[in-house]
Amino acid sequence: MTLYYFRTLERNEDAFLTGTVLDMPDDEAALKEARAALLDMARERLRDPSFWLLQVELLDANLESVTTMKLTREEDPVRKP
């Protein structure tokens, strides 16, 4: 079993928030499933109107980036005219 870290950077109207964690099996199918679940979680989070950017990074045990996913709203509420 390999330790992976899921690091999220969420941008709301005020600040960036960070989070982490997760033990992942070495099995590629399980990792793919976990990535899909993470994207579902991210999409759910973006339903909150105060959040407009969510960047999710999958890091390996050496804290090297394996995957970076960015989800954004079409409209940035911070930059509204």
pTM of the model: 0.47
Q: In the chain, at which residue ranges do the beta strands (DSSP E only) sit?
A: 2-3, 5-11, 16-19, 23-24, 53-59, 65-72
52-61 per-position pLDDT tens digit: 666 666 666 5
pLDDT tens series, the chain, 81 aa:
444 444 555 555 444 444 444 555 566 777 677 677 767 776 777 677 666 666 666 666 566 666 666 666 655 445 444
Average pLDDT over the chain reads 60
pLDDT given for residue 18 in this prediction: 44
DSSP state of 56: E
